[in-house]
Amino acid sequence: MGFWNNLALGIEVAFTTQNLLYCFLGVTLGNLMGVVPGVGAVAAVSILLPVTYHIPPSAGLIMLAGLYYGAVYGAVTGAILLNIPHTVSAVECLDGYPMAKSGRAGVALFMTTIASLCGSVVGIVIIALFAPPVAAVALTFESPDYFALVVLGMTGAVALARGSPIRSFIMILTGMLIGLVGMDVTSAQPRFTFGISQFMDGISIGVIAMGLFGVAELIANAGQLHTGTVTAGDITWRSLLPTRDDLRRSWPAIIRGTGLGCFFGILPGAGAVLASIIAYTVEKQVAADPGRFGNGAIEGVVAPEAAANAACQTSFVPMLTLGIPTDPITAVMLAALLIKGISPGPEFISAHPDIFWGLVVSFVVGNVLLVIWHIPFIRLWVKLLTVPFDILFPSVLVLICLGVYTIHNSTMDILLVLAFGLIGYGMRLLQFEPAPLLIGLVLGPLLETYLRRSLIVSHGNVLGLLERPFAGGVLCLSAIILAWTFRKTAKSSRPNPNSKAAV
């Protein structure tokens, strides 16, 4: 009964003209930025972050979320047609591009759209069913429990991030350090402000994300990306239709991918990228003839796509119910909500049912919009792939600079975005992943606050943190995961766990 009332409320919110408009705007721009090479989902979300300052929180959240899953939808197009590895769609290149080369691009695009829809819908059902009970359980949590959960989030980000765990750990800690810049709320002590008055309020996450992901990406790709000719030739209506054999192979793969995606989306630090890589690996293992993979096996395209979209949806569960983001994109969204004075946590769903259920219903609306956008307009998106990058990057740069400026109307922020762009580019050259930094940036202040409160509760006894069964259990789990991660890398000669999956 309650569920249906909530659903009705969600429909009411999501179907207001304003929210429909922002949902449409979000998924369209997301799809656009996903299709276009050289601009990732994180950059897309952070470029539009300043817009959310001027619109109501539910509209802002709906738009940012739409950007996220829209970009995931769009990214696969470039992977299939031009072999462009986007962050979220790197594995789809492996079999999608060979499919395109053998003239089956239409089938690949059609089936990935179906796979995306399937993954998303199941992910949405999971949010609707599980977020409220998780929040209800979380209501009984106290500071030590939250402290433990944030530690688990960090550990997950270290264990599941791409590349070596030492590097991702350094990135998380660096993010936490940057998160400390500004005035300490408890003692009013300015920290790491270097006497610069703008630093007193801290450095806006929008500036950092746009620098590390936007500007750095543009510097790395400018003069580099040259759009090739689309291999597929013309994509006709008829070429979209899958054969019976395609369908027979795809269904189980989509279901497996969806399941894996839902699970990995909820895990801290995993997100859509890891989910799609794992889905690909699993498909290769369960296949009767693994030799087909890499030569255009449809399972290798649809399973990762379903997984990425499912993960993209379920990653909202920990963010909305616990206030703990699991990937850089939900971290940016969390920041957007905090700026609006809304702190996601166990009370979020009961205090703002309109925002939560409106968002859930908007996911459905957005996904349907994406399918409508994607299939009939497929030729339009293919055209977009041929927009030269030398036109694209100065345009994106202008939007970044002005977007950053509108956060505080300060030119200082424009220089800061350049500084973070250069830092991000340096990190790229040294092969440090920027994603954990963003997670650390958001988790750092939470970690300090919960640690401080927990220590007051336990009268300054650090071991007191372990006394609550939940907190103790989660902390032990984190310690085991961390030990296992470092042991695994210590054993393997190559400290890159994902390089195997990517080969």
Partner 1 sequence: MNDASKSGPSARQDVIGGVLSVALGVFALAIALSYPMGSLLRMGPGLFPCIIAVLIVVLGLALIGVSFRSRPKVASVNIRLRSVLTIGLGIVLFALLLERAGLIPATLTLVLVSSLAEPRWRPQRAVVLAIAMTALVYVIFIIVLQIPVAALGL
Task: Determine, following the binding rule CB under 8 A, whether residue 390 of this chain makes contact with partner 1.
Answer: yes
* Window 142-171: residues binding partner 1 (CB under 8 A): 163-164, 166-167, 169-170
> What's the alpha-carbon Rg for the chain, to the nearest Å?
22
d(CA 234, CA 434): 38
Task: Determine, following the binding rule CB under 8 A, whether residue 414 of this chain makes contact with partner 1.
Answer: yes
Task: Determine, following the binding rule CB under 8 A, whether residue 417 of this chain makes contact with partner 1.
Answer: yes
Task: Determine, following the binding rule CB under 8 A, whether residue 184 of this chain makes contact with partner 1.
Answer: yes
Owner of token pair 């036109």: 391
Two tokens, residue 316: 């909202």
Of these, 242, 304, 421, 436, which contacts partner 1 (CB under 8 A)? Answer: 421
How far apart are the two ends of the chain, measured CA to CA in Å?
Answer: 50
The least CB distance from residue 379 to partner 1, in Å, is 24
Task: Determine, following the binding rule CB under 8 A, whether residue 187 of this chain makes contact with partner 1.
Answer: yes
Q: Cα dihedral sign for 443, 51, 419, 201? A: negative
Task: Determine, following the binding rule CB under 8 A, whether residue 92 of this chain makes contact with partner 1.
Answer: no
Report phi then psi at 104, rounded to 5. Answer: -110, 30
**C-beta of 103 vs 388, nearer to partner 1:** 388
Of these, 10, 85, 144, 156, which contacts partner 1 (CB under 8 A)? Answer: 85
Task: Determine, following the binding rule CB under 8 A, whether residue 494 of this chain makes contact with partner 1.
Answer: yes
Type of residue at 263: F
| Stretch of 118-126, 140-148, 246-254, 424-432 contacting partner 1, by CB under 8 A | 424-432
**C-beta of 186 vs 229, nearer to partner 1:** 186
In this structure, are residues 79 and 205 in contact, taking their beta carbons and an 8 Å threshold? no
Task: Determine, following the binding rule CB under 8 A, whether residue 493 of this chain makes contact with partner 1.
Answer: yes
| Stretch of 7-15, 239-247, 273-281, 390-398 contacting partner 1, by CB under 8 A | 390-398
d(CA 357, CA 129): 11
In this structure, are residues 403 and 50 in contact, taking their beta carbons and an 8 Å threshold? yes
Distances (CA, A) of 363 to 26, 340, 383: 11, 21, 27
The least CB distance from residue 149 to partner 1, in Å, is 18
Cα Dmax for the chain: 71
d(CA 100, CA 235): 10
429 Cα distance to chain centroid: 23
Residues at the site binding partner 1, with contacts judged by CB under 8 A: 54, 84-85, 163-164, 166-167, 169-170, 173-174, 176-177, 180, 184, 186-187, 189, 191-192, 215, 218-220, 222-225, 390-391, 393-395, 397-399, 401-402, 405-406, 409, 411, 414-415, 417-418, 421-422, 425, 428-432, 444, 447-448, 451-452, 455-456, 459-462, 493-496, 499
